[in-house]
Structure 1
Amino acid sequence: MRHTTLKSGLRELLAHTLLFCGIGLVLTLAGWLGATDLLALLLSQPGRRWPILLLTLILSLAISGFLIFAHRAAADRANLAVMQQKAATARQAEIASQLAMLQAQIEPHFLFNTLANVQSLIDQDAATAKQMLAHLNDYLRATLTRTRLPQGTLGDELTVIRHLLFIAGIRLGERLQWQMEVDPGLLTHPLPPLLLQPLVENALKHGIEPALLGGRLHIRAGHLGDELVLTVSDNGVGMPPSGHGHGVGLANVRQRLDSLYGAAGRLRLQPNPEGGVCAALHLPWQGDQAGDSPISQA
């Protein structure tokens, strides 16, 4: 550190020395261009030496100060850009870590339940067991592809959710009905992974599965103003008396929304008029389409 400071001081001293030595040449050049040659005036009129020297010194210090200020401002801008890049890299790493943590929390529960169902179906209904394994294979392949990308699309997320619902449908049978209502033009809209899927998992686990007769799951996506609105509604057992969502999945979704969008992204939970719960994700619109896609308001 001391060596760096000494080196920087010597560099500034050299710059000042060169500046003072060169100021005479600059003034002479100015004389050639038609301005007053202060150097020649200094030599020809000794009586006016000190005023001229003072003027030269002030001019030199002004030019030197400007150059030093410009150099330091450029260095500060470069340092700020480096710091911003490091902060962005750290933020991306934090978001990737959160995604990996959320993935690790979701996958084992779903995987173990599915494999247990396959095991029970092998002796009773081998064809259905084979069908469930095929959907599980497609689900895991789509999930692996999605989580390797820094940014996915709504279509990627719905592909994973579709396989998840096919598997849940085999397990729950007629107790589960589901529907997706999504404008095809929205499928390419950017969407970070594992924002919508936990809402579907939550609706299945806490809304439809505990209901004696099961229920219906409805997934909607629409462009409303400057937001992409994604809703997952069910007509299951409804919200708990506390009025808050269940489990770590929703807490992780809220945390990821805050990390990704700040105040511009939010999750809203409220009772579904048909019974059950309606969960709505409000995300900043990142597309270039004009107009609003119709979407039911909860």
Structure 2
Amino acid sequence: MSSSKFRTASLWPDTLGGALRIALVAALVWALAATLLFFLAPGLETFPRLLMFSECVGLTMLVCTLLLRRTRHFAQLQTGTRWLLTGAIAIPTGYFVGHQIAFLLLGEPARMVGLEQVSVVPIIFTVLVGGLALHYYATREQLANEAATRSEAQRLAVEAQLRLLRAQLEPHMLFNTLANVRSLLREDVGRAESMIDQLIVYLRSALAASQTEAVTLSREFAQLRAYLDIMSLRMGPRLSYRLELPGALEATLVPPMLLQPLVENAIKHGLEPKVGAGSIEVVARATAAGIEIRVSDSGLGLPADEDPGPSARPANASYGLQHVRDRLRTVYGPAARLSLERREPTGVSAVVCIPH
């Protein structure tokens, strides 16, 4: 999500409903302004006439501001210059054009405001209220820009962490795999060739993932399959696995290498320390809230005194768990989560929930 999209949606929506909501707020503000002016300057106008003039001036000013915001060259100006020009154009236009619209609605002949008599009170009041309204929206835009900048900085930081994680994990895995290939060349050439083939598939997929911000779930599962094939060749009968991805979810986009740390964590902390055979299952399914992906193992499981809840950080868990949580929060917001669940009789399920 780009920052410009965020600002447009928050301040100046393109939909008719969003524009009507802004117009309603502006109408209430200018009604309050008319009420204040009526009491502060008694005898200036009757309240109904003052309210009519105030609403026409305020809404004309709003329309002028919205039109200026949609002008391409105007939007390219610096923020301070843009808002100064908005005030210099919208306030006088709203005052003079709004009065002509009010005369028309009241059934009175149009006339140049101030030609017969000049009253500085309405002019000063219009400039004051209009200036405060524009200052309010300028402040909101600045806050939106700062929020978007912080969000982008957080996203870049998480992606930098991902690159660091890849730099730490992939050489380690590569060296271990090459060591296994070297030993297999003397014992089982066929298995060695198979491991090299899967390593090529895995590294090609990892390279492609490093060059994009999102991959399909089918590609994510293909990379997991290549990785688990390599680990199966290394661990032999101690490791079996199953991947299940419904066809309807294959094209769903997710951050690259989102599930890899969970699978690696399951092997490192669950299956490798365990005596005997173990298994890993990665199952994706659609839910009412979005998509649920379970990475389950039959390893040692969590200690009895550790909390398996959504915010748990087990003492024996790798950095990868917290990294996945950070990426989910950055990409999808607070609705996404990673939680751990105990399995019976042994094992852990890492459950990733991605909202619609």
Using the size of structure 1 for normalisation, the TM-score is 0.73
Q: Deviations over 1:34-88 (max 9, x none)?
A: 35778665xxxxxxxxxx44xx212322343355345545544553454344233
Q: Deviation at 1:154?
A: 1.6
In 1, distance between residues paired with 2:279 and 2:112?
92
In 1, distance between residues paired with 2:258 and 2:179?
26
Q: Structure 1 residues 178, 61: CA separation in 2 closer, same or farther (over 3 Å shift)?
A: same
In 2, distance between residues paired with 1:95 and 1:255?
7
* Other-structure match for 2:326: 255
Q: AA paired with 1:153?
A: T
* Other-structure match for 2:40: none
Q: AA paired with 1:270?
A: E
In 2, distance between residues paired with 1:162 and 1:64?
67
Give yes or no for contact 2:242–2:282 (8 Å, CA) kept in 1: yes
* Other-structure match for 2:339: 268
Give yes or no for contact 2:325–2:338 (8 Å, CA) kept in 1: yes
Q: Deviations over 1:153-203 (max 9, x none)?
A: 222211111000111111122222111122111111121123311111122
1:206 paired to 2:281? no
Give yes or no for contact 1:231–1:278 (8 Å, CA) kept in 2: yes
Q: Deviation at 1:139?
A: 0.3
Q: AA paired with 1:275?
A: T
Give yes or no for contact 1:180–1:220 (8 Å, CA) kept in 2: yes
Give yes or no for contact 1:98–1:256 (8 Å, CA) kept in 2: no
Give yes or no for contact 1:217–1:234 (8 Å, CA) kept in 2: yes
In 2, distance between residues paired with 1:218 and 1:61?
72
In 2, distance between residues paired with 1:74 and 1:270?
47
Q: Deviations over 1:237-293 (max 9, x none)?
A: 332354335222223223333433443222222221242222211221x3xxxxxxx
* Other-structure match for 1:238: 301
1:136 paired to 2:136? no
Give yes or no for contact 1:175–1:215 (8 Å, CA) kept in 2: yes
* Other-structure match for 1:172: 235
Q: Deviation at 1:222?
A: 0.7
Structure 1 window deviating more from structure 2 (159-168 vs 268-277): it is 268-277
In 2, distance between residues paired with 1:99 and 1:79?
30
Identity value in percent: 34
Give yes or no for contact 2:155–2:330 (8 Å, CA) kept in 1: no
* Other-structure match for 1:34: 109
Q: Deviation at 1:113?
A: 1.4
Q: Structure 1 residues 107, 241: CA separation in 2 closer, same or farther (over 3 Å shift)?
A: farther
Q: AA paired with 1:252?
A: H
SS in 1 for 2:302: coil
In 2, distance between residues paired with 1:206 and 1:95?
24
What value does the CA root-mean-square deviation take over the aligned residues? 3.4
Give yes or no for contact 1:169–1:177 (8 Å, CA) kept in 2: yes
Give yes or no for contact 1:210–1:237 (8 Å, CA) kept in 2: yes
Q: Structure 1 residues 266, 60: CA separation in 2 closer, same or farther (over 3 Å shift)?
A: closer
In 2, distance between residues paired with 1:174 and 1:156?
26
* Other-structure match for 1:292: none
Q: Structure 1 residues 90, 219: CA separation in 2 closer, same or farther (over 3 Å shift)?
A: same
* Other-structure match for 2:168: 105
Structure 1 window deviating more from structure 2 (273-282 vs 176-185): it is 273-282
Q: Structure 1 residues 247, 87: CA separation in 2 closer, same or farther (over 3 Å shift)?
A: closer
SS in 2 for 1:139: helix
SS in 2 for 1:264: coil
Using the size of structure 2 for normalisation, the TM-score is 0.62
Gaps of 5+ in 2: 1-79, 307-313
Q: Structure 1 residues 64, 122: CA separation in 2 closer, same or farther (over 3 Å shift)?
A: same
Equivalent position to 2:246, from 183, 208, 211: 183
1:279 paired to 2:350? yes
